[in-house]
């Protein structure tokens, strides 16, 4: 089984995100970035599949500017065999949407005959939760999203436990398939220093949008990005009926 793992470079979760004064987006220049945590989980699961001899090769993929090489190197250090970097400039990247990323992944999956596309369930910057589902749609492949447990069923199927609103759902999907990783799937290992050194020798293939016939026309337009309103003080009420009345007044009930 050959696995394609999509990894996104996002603002590190510990950073205090700030909105640009012109309200077009958040500040990303000189802000610490990392691999999207859900993508780390997807990569870790792929590595575990390889260690259990269910997967033969893991290829990490990222669409983005030159800086994305950093997280591809991290992916190589964490166990990917090779990496593919679909490079676009910063200005173009600002307008890239899950729709475009999904197209790129779908094309790669088909052309290079991957058996499994493994993504994080969503990115922590846009929380879109679309890419995996779109890829499955483009390829007409089965999808198992919000995976919290992945097991093999022979060489043709995967049994996946999904975290859904009602609890846990277990489904069986036929390969090739698309999976997206949820938080409790695993705990990603640290890249080791020796692996970081070895990763320098692993290949990163460069591709352009043209190579994949990618149409980067925007589907959406961002009108404004602003901070949530600052929290105002609350008030104490004497009893429950008053509380219910206040909640109704404020439209919460």
Partner 1 sequence: MFRGMQSYCVDPTLGLNAEQKEIQKLAKEFARNELYPHMEEFDTMGKLPRDTMKKAGEIGFGAIYCSEKFGGTGLTRFDASLIFEQLAAGCSSTAAYMSIHNMCAWMIDEFGTDEHRKKYLPSMAAYETLGSYCLTEPDSGSDAAALRTSAKRVGDHYILNGSKAFISGSGDSGVYLVMLRHEGQPGPKGIFCLLVEDGTPGLHLGKNEKKLGWCTHPTRIITFEDCQVSVSNQIGGDNQGFNIAMMGINGGRVNIASCSLGAAQNSFDLAIEHLKVRKQFGKPLADFQWNQFKLAEMAMKLVTSRLMLREAAQHLTEKTPQMASLCAMAKLYVTDTCFEVVNHALQMHGGYGILKDYPLQQYLRDCRVHQIIEGTNEIMRMIIARDVLTNANYLTG
Alpha carbon distance 118, 114 (integer Å): 10
* Min CB(26)–partner 1 separation in Å: 11
Q: How many CA atoms lie within 13 A of 222 on its CB side?
A: 13
Q: Is the Cβ of residue 151 or residue 203 nearer to partner 1 in the bound state?
A: 203
Q: Which stretch binds partner 1 (CB under 8 A): 12-20, 79-87, 96-104, 119-127?
A: 12-20
Q: Pairing state of beta strands 2-6 and 57-64?
A: parallel
Nearest distance from C-beta of residue 111 to partner 1, angstroms: 30
Smallest gap, in angstroms, from Cβ of residue 114 to partner 1?
27
The answer to whether 70 contacts partner 1 (rule: CB under 8 A) is yes
Q: Is 30 among the residues that bind partner 1 (CB under 8 A)? A: yes
- Select the residue interacting with partner 1 from 14, 52, 223, 240 (CB under 8 A): 14
**CB-based contact 188:120 (threshold 8 Å):** no
Q: Quick one: which of 52, 51, 69 has its CA closest to 60?
A: 69
Per-residue contact flags (x/-) with partner 1 for residues 99 to 118, judged by CB under 8 A: --------------------
- Identify whether the C-beta of residue 203 lies closer than 8 Å to the C-beta of residue 3: no
Q: Minimum Å distance from CB 180 to partner 1? A: 24
- Residue 26, interface with partner 1 (CB under 8 A)? no
Residue 111 or residue 227: which is nearer to partner 1 going by CB?
A: 227
- DSSP label at 19? B
The smaller minimum CB distance to partner 1, of residues 193 and 223, is found at: 193
The H-assigned helical ranges of the chain are: 37-51, 68-77, 90-94, 98-111, 131-139, 193-199, 240-249
Contacting partner 1 within 175-204 (CB under 8 A): 190-194, 196-197, 200
How many angstroms separate the CA atoms of 240 and 245, rounded? 9
Cα angle: 16, vertex 20, 22; to 5 degrees: 160
**CB within 8 A of 122, min separation 6: which ones?**
38, 128, 129, 130, 180
Interaction residues for partner 1, span 45-64 (CB under 8 A):
none
Q: How far is the CB of 74 from partner 1 (least distance, A)?
A: 7
Interface ranges with partner 1 (CB under 8 A): 14, 18, 20, 27, 29-31, 70, 73-74, 77, 190-194, 196-197, 200
């Amino acid at each position: 089984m050959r696995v394609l793992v999509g990894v996104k470079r996002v603002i590190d979760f510990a950073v205090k995100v700030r909105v640009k004064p012109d309200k077009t987006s958040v500040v990303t220049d000189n802000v610490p970035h990392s691999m999207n945590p859900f993508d780390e989980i997807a990569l870790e699961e792929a590595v575990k599949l390889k260690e259990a001899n269910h997967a033969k090769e893991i290829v990490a993929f990222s669409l983005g500017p030159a800086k994305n090489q950093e997280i591809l190197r991290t992916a190589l250090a964490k166990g990917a065999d090779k990496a593919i970097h679909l490079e676009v400039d910063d200005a173009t990247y600002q307008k890239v949407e899950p729709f475009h990323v999904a197209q790129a992944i779908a094309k790669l999956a088909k052309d290079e005959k991957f058996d499994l596309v493994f993504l994080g369930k969503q990115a922590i910057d846009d929380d879109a939760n679309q890419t995996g589902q779109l890829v499955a749609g483009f390829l007409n492949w089965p999808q198992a999203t919000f995976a919290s447990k992945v097991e093999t069923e022979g060489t043709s199927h995967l049994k996946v436990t999904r975290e859904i609103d009602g609890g846990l759902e277990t489904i069986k999907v036929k390969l090739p398939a698309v999976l997206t990783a949820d938080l409790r799937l695993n705990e990603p290992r640290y890249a080791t220093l020796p692996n970081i050194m070895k990763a320098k020798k692993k290949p990163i293939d460069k591709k352009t949008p043209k190579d994949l016939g990618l149409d980067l026309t925007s589907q959406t337009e961002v009108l404004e990005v602003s901070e949530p309103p600052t929290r105002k003080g609350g008030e104490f009420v004497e009893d429950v009926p008053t509380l219910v009345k206040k909640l109704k007044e404020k439209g919460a009930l």
